[in-house]
Amino acid sequence: MVRGIREGSSYSASFSALKDEVIDAGLCTRCGSCVGVCPDKALKIDDLTGDCLPVQVDGCSDCGLCHVGCSGKDVPFAQLNQQVFGRQPSNLLLGNMLNLFVGHASQTGVRSRGASGGVITAVLKYLLETGKIDGAIVLVMDETTPWVSKPIIARSVEEIEAAAQSKYSLSPVNTILSQLADIEGRFAYVGLPCQVHSLRKLQAAGHAATLKIEYVIGSYCGNILHFDAVRSFLRNNGVESVEEVADLQYRAGEWPGQMQVTLRSGEVIALKKFYANYLIPFFMVDRCTMCTDLANEFADIACGDAWSPVYEERGKGWSLVMGRTERGAGLLEEMAAGGYLTLQGLEEQAAIGMHSHMLDFKKRGSFLRMERREKRGISVPDYGFKAVGIPWQRRLFESLLTFLFWVCSQPLSRWAVEHFPVRITGELFEIARRSWKRMTRTTKRRGLVDVQFETTVDGGRE
């Protein structure tokens, strides 16, 4: 029996209990672990381009593994920090780290094909070519349905390179764990924070398949979108069916890239990345608003875009790179010394500045949103800590933001944005985004680096 579900306990280990407590409560992260670890193969993800939620399709033996690996209801940050790093982080915004860089893949082709600097692709290629791993768990676009992403165990450099770039629609990566259980070897894994949370919980419980994963590479993640965002974008451009799509890329071309759809007719539809961000407030997954982890705090190596004018002006793609564990930090230094990565040291304050708005969204805003839900009797996830002493200005700002998200989520708003010229919408959104950042810069940054947290037990003070 995997540690985490104890015999004789009153804890319900059935999938029906998980459905009640997590899925129906709106807490499911769509990580896919419940499907991937189910020994009965009783679960599947229903409608990948819809709600993308796990459902039961066969008999459940109540083993409890779906509860052990769930990242929806609770993620014990303190315990996971102790498990992965042997200590608590000194920087509560960024998490534990041993080194911090800005840089890119040294190989030009790898850098240009990546979402930012191509670091994740370069790391995976190096691990495979040097024999440190036998394969890597990555996301690729499905050949038969090229508008849908799917996880694979990449065994070749070509497969790793095919997985380059971010995929911004729901993609339950951890369903792949069912395949990992049946093969031998050492593996690397690429995932979003919620997916890594689940992986680390399963490793802590001694789950055999997950213990084959020796390198965890995590990308920064602010939010993910329902696939309806793609449908809306297509319809706005006169495309009524996803069946017309031959190729979909969310970050095509030179950094920061563009959303690009190639139709079976050969027509190419593209929109600058920052313009395409207009889709976020209309189609963001609600569970993302309750996530407290931007920087993938439990990965061995974490990577994100280096959003800073000095790097944005240079173009070509730049990544913010953290070595969190000794294994991850050592690998970065080894690759830099060998010329595989071009890295330069970065101060923590600079890293915070690159993502200050989203760090505020995660480290303060998420707790305000959860606080509001709790007052209305709605379930929220438990991370074992919460932010305290948030100033009234930030609380007021959060009320406005919550209202805007609610307005954008309404069917009429989605219909309206779908019928307004997409390029004009994108341009207006970018103007609004820059204005919003300037207007809220003081409110969102005030006290961010000094934000205080207190530990909690079962939703209360420790």
Q: Is residue 350 part of a domain?
A: yes
Distances in Å between the Cα of 167 and the Cα atoms of 125, 250, 260, 266, 281 are: 19, 6, 12, 22, 17
Domain-terminating residue out of 312, 329, 354: 354
**Residue 19 DSSP symbol:** I
Q: Are 384 and 369 contained in the same domain?
A: yes
pLDDT, mean of residues 419-431: 87
Q: State residue 224's pLDDT score.
A: 97
Residue 20, pLDDT above cutoff 90: yes
Residue 196, pLDDT above cutoff 70: yes
Query: How far is the C-alpha of 91 from the C-alpha of 64, rounded, in Å?
Result: 34
Q: Is residue 248 part of a domain?
A: no
Residue 443, pLDDT above cutoff 60: no
Residue 157, domain extent: 77-225+285-354
Q: State residue 326's pLDDT score.
A: 98
Domain-terminating residue out of 354, 373, 388: 354
pLDDT, mean of residues 405-421: 94
Q: Are 339 and 407 contained in the same domain?
A: no
CATH of the domain at 112: 3.40.640
Q: State residue 436's pLDDT score.
A: 66
Query: Above pLDDT 70, what percent of the chain?
Result: 94
Residue 392 structure tokens: 């009234």
Query: Above pLDDT 90, what percent of the chain?
Result: 84
Phi, psi of 386 (to 5 degrees): -155, 155
What's the pTM? 0.94
SS3 411: helix
Q: Are 103 and 140 contained in the same domain?
A: yes
- Could you write out the DSSP letters of every residue in 226-291? -THHHHHHHHHTT---GGGEEEEEEEESSTT-EEEEEETTS-EEEEEHHHHGGGHHHHB-GGGGG-
Number of domains the chain is built from: 3
Tens digit of pLDDT for each residue in 332-351?
A: 999 999 999 999 999 999 99
pLDDT, mean of residues 87-99: 96
Q: Is residue 279 part of a domain?
A: no
Residue 193 structure tokens: 């924070």
Q: Are 175 and 302 contained in the same domain?
A: yes
Q: State residue 169's pLDDT score.
A: 97
Taking all residues of the chain, what is their mean pLDDT, rounded to a whole number? 92
CATH of the domain at 60: 3.30.70.20
Query: How far is the C-alpha of 451 from the C-alpha of 385, rounded, in Å?
Result: 12
Q: Is residue 234 part of a domain?
A: no
Q: Is residue 181 part of a domain?
A: yes
Distances in Å between the Cα of 297 and the Cα atoms of 53, 380, 414 are: 25, 20, 33
Q: Is residue 154 part of a domain?
A: yes
pLDDT, mean of residues 170-187: 96
Antiparallel, parallel or unpaired: β 99-105 and 319-323: antiparallel
Q: Is residue 244 part of a domain?
A: no
Q: Are 84 and 104 contained in the same domain?
A: yes
Domain-terminating residue out of 354, 371, 388: 354
Q: Are 216 and 365 contained in the same domain?
A: no
User: What spatial distance separates the first Cα and last Cα of the chain, rounded to whole Å?
Assistant: 30
Q: Is residue 253 part of a domain?
A: no
Residue 8, pLDDT above cutoff 50: no
